[in-house]
Structure 1
């Protein structure tokens, strides 16, 4: 392998910060360095980048050109990193798809993104077999291959592992809109080298205590299709750390991996913290967590008692951030949070503003919609939504917050109707749309109710259609019905049956009254 990439000793935007070397360069400069460990097997940077370059050449051989799309329906594994690295050095967009989505939801994203290549683990291929054959030119499975599909092994069996050309590509993550319909967040692809995108990431890692280029061990225990754990672990891989991958989150397995592998960093959501804290005292005491240097968390508000307990256990290594698929808004250290409980950090002046109901910038102490500076992007195929999310140089994902007099930011709400359960977003309209297709449902409203484990649980308030009773048989029928329509994390955990449904004269549902009903159960 003879990939040649440029390397600078410092980030030109931040001269005091060493540049992030990039996985591509590490494959050339330090090929025996461990890159990925999964199921006890290690893949070195040299082996990883050899596969990445073969994949890049395959994309070129197929005729893919700058701005084309590769979609992945992938379980946690090295393939996510191989495909992401190949796309981002080949001028392509990589779309990771939520593996928990129902088949129609997966089909929508594949078609909407206009993917030229779809790569799926065999265990997930039934979500797309026969659904997208007319839309995607090249279908690839990891594992057994159905008729008409190529195997990943043969697809990447390219003799030349030196890419002919290299240019900057990008991840294109999908995020739900206010109607629940997913939208691709697409960033422009400047004419630049792949390494040019690593500077800001290196600055962020240095800020939270992960100096670029230094050795470390990062644990992936969340699904890599999600923007936060996937993109974060990819950046940390670029920094030269070894990535340890678990198939999913199991509290005891996570704690054992941290202890046995001297893990130095990881990314979790508050639900994960609670599950770790719920482990038996003997299991917790017997684990060595002293190696942990940075424990990132986001995705949902963290209950103060949970966060204090984690800091007491792991030490002041927790770093919280406020962000979304559109960008990162604020970052907060453990020390800052202990001094200002509930804050998500103190953004740099000019990096984040609050816009009040009057459309003007909110003063300290006043509530306002959070707008933050982010790299340019568009919501694929939706210029109106793109424009609505902008305010000058700033963008918003709809969160509401306030500043205190010291400039610390506090999040007051996560969009008016959005439900955050286990660190993932659920939009009521999508769940309501699925339930309204059942003949037993005359009207329905979905809300989030506080839950000690999940942060919020999804609750459906159902007005019965004539001839139906709100009994266990109907609950079972509704559960089966939505199971076929939407992803598991979106399905209601509780059903409340009512005769009168709270809608206004204008036809709008009163979610405040729905929450009163749900909280009263």
Structure 2
């Protein structure tokens, strides 16, 4: 169960289809392209176990070709968010130890700045210079002599706002052809067939953990991955009909936007081939999920997990209908809900969610954060707050780290606050996630100006310009509100709960 085996058995079967253009890459073509990628890595001195490559690329066929080339070269691939600034990308490249970055001309202005910030990292650029396509075309399509399983290191923001790499676990089998645990999980828990009949729609960016990993899983099973260049709600429905999609994966924001389509658009497309619709990344509002099950039927499957891979829960539609609002029962790891002192709390009470698994994750170059996420018993947490019910179903109720999830993307407010407070016109600042009917949450900055008389639209514009030069657009506040004073406790700790409760009450009154 590897693309190489499918290339030998069904070389003309589509491995990748781009939803918008219809461009198709067969398994035979994917296998040859992956071999060229591995050959390129070796020609660049990227050895197994030590070579690290950054991938800053939009959704396109080459993304998965490079991923599979890395998988058989024994190197480490670092997918990078397309929303990040050159400064943020430079940090990831330095922290990961990458010596090569593959990108495209779409990032041309930022690549120029990045070259100044990270001069020791070579660049290959599709439709640019040096041209990545030309470099790959010059490579032989035969396998490298020393194939071994490669890994991916995904980055998530830390408590300081700087991205932190999740160190990939050592593979149980060094043979690149070995079946991964995720493949077995997909085939079993999610009911994916292993006969190559899966047609998997990936509407999200491939740099995210779920689209990246599940796309490769579908191809490992011999299935076709239909990649949307960019998500559009009606285009997603059209893709299901056009390509006879059997499986898909979403975040709640996708559901919300599709539900908001006119009735004519929602009923225009034949979705009869659609058998399994997986969602994760953020809690889904109960009303939204009810509406999706009513529309698509009991094909909605939910899981809760993180890039850290320390645990996983699962719920099919009926399980969720019996336990609305839950994220399912554990299928990997044993959950423990603990209070602030690390003691387990009774069933039904809220606390920090830990998972007990045999293999523990660690954050790359960050033993402090690794320790903060580890319970004295060796259990680990993603920092989420939740509870278990009497049937063992897990519910998420809060985030210990005050993380904001907007459109399925994790945003940590500390980074934004640290920048705001350095502005000369700002005395104090708090950044929170406020309820948003479309994105789930929106970023809100509550600012105490150094001079309250300066509060107004001009200062808002100045602050956004200031942040915009240093932050990815998705992190920018969608709303800035000025206050004479922020709610701080006597010890100086910012009491964000008061602000969050205030904005939730407003949202409830406006609903």
Query: Which TM-score tier does this pair reach, normalised by the shorter chain?
Result: over 0.9
* Conserved 8 A contact 1:91-1:166: yes
SS in structure 2 at match of 1:399: strand
Q: How does 1:120-519 map to 2 (within 5 A)?
A: 120-132=103-115, 135-145=119-129, 149-190=130-171, 192-327=174-309, 328-348=311-331, 351-372=334-355, 373=357, 375-391=359-375, 392-466=377-451, 469-519=454-504
Residue of structure 2 in register with 1:105 after alignment: 88
Residue 349 (structure 1) shift: 8.6
In the alignment, is the contact (CA less than 8 A) between 1:290 and 1:314 conserved in 2? no
Query: Is the deviation greater in 373-382 or in 264-273?
Result: 373-382
Give ranges in structure 1 of 5+ residues lacking alignment: 1-20
When the two chains are superposed, the root-mean-square deviation of aligned CA atoms in Å is: 2.0
How far, CA to CA, are the matches of 1:47 and 1:214 in structure 2? 17
Q: Alpha-carbon deviation of 1:376?
A: 3.8
Cα distance per residue 1:225-254 (max 9 Å; x no partner): 011122111211211111111111111111
Inter-partner Cα distance in structure 1 for 2:470 and 2:367: 28
- How many equivalent pairs are there? 498
Instruction: Please say if residues 187 and 375 of structure 1, whose CA atoms lie closer than 8 Å, have aligned partners that are also in contact.
Output: no
Matched residue SS, 1:71:
strand
Query: What are the Cα deviations for residues 334-378 of structure 1, in whole angstroms up to 9, with x where unaligned?
Result: 110011111111115953222333323333223232222374432
| Deviation by residue 1:49-71 (Cα, 9 ceiling, x = unmatched) | 10100111121122211222111
83-92 or 343-352, larger mean C-alpha shift? 343-352
Q: Secondary structure at the match of 2:180?
A: helix
Sort the Cα spacing of 1:160 and 1:228 in 2 relative to 1 into closer, same or farther, 3 A: closer
* Secondary structure in 2 matching 1:290: coil
2:3 is matched with: 23
TM-fit CA distance, 1:464? 1.1
Secondary structure, aligned partner of 2:70: helix
Give the CA deviation at 1:409: 1.3
Shift of 1:204: 2.8
Cross-structure match for 2:509 = none
Q: Distance in 1 between matches of 2:455 and 2:91?
A: 33
Q: How far apart, CA to CA, are the structure 1 residues paired with 2:179 and 2:425? A: 52
Q: CA deviation at 1:187?
A: 2.0
**1:378-413: per-residue Cα shift (whole Å, max 9, x none)?**
211111222332234532111122111111111121
**Per-residue CA shift, 1:279-337, capped at 9, x if unaligned?**
00011111111211111111111111110111111111111111111014211111100
Change (3 A) 1:36 1:330: same
- Residue 416 of structure 1, CA deviation: 4.5
Q: Contact 1:111–1:132 (CA<8 Å) still a contact in 2?
A: no
1:85 pairs with 2:68: yes
Aligned to 1:44: 26
* Contact map agreement 2:435 2:503 (CA 8 A) in 1: no
Equivalent-residue separation in structure 1 for 2:482 and 2:315 (angstroms)? 42
- Which stretch of the first structure deviates more once superposed, 373-382 or 81-90? 373-382
Deviations 1:131-166 (A, max 9, x none): 346554531001122xxx343332442124222121
3-state SS of paired residue (1:236): helix
* Runs of 5+ consecutive residues of structure 2 not aligned to the other structure: 507-511
Q: CA deviation at 1:27?
A: 1.8
SS in 1 for 2:271: coil
Post-superposition CA distance 1:429-484 (Å, at most 9, x none)? 11112222333222110111111111111111011123752222222222222221
TM-score (norm 1): 0.91
Alpha-carbon spacing, 1:257–1:144, altered in 2? closer, same or farther (3 Å): same
Please report how far the alpha carbon of residue 181 of structure 1 lies from its aligned counterpart in structure 2 after TM superposition.
1.4
Alpha-carbon distance between aligned partners in 1 of 2:332 and 2:28, rounded to the nearest angstrom: 42
The question of whether the paired residues in 2 share the 8 Å contact of 1:107 and 1:128 is answered with no
Between 133-142 and 206-215, the greater mean CA deviation after superposition: 133-142
Change (3 A) 1:216 1:198: same
Distance in 2 of aligned mates of 1:359 and 1:229: 34
Matched residues in 2 for 1:151 and 1:409: separation? 45
Mapped partners of 1:345, 1:307: distance in 2 = 14
With normalisation by structure 2, the TM-score equals 0.93
Deviates more, 1:474-483 or 1:71-80: 474-483
How far the C-alpha of 1:109 sits from its partner, in A, is 0.7
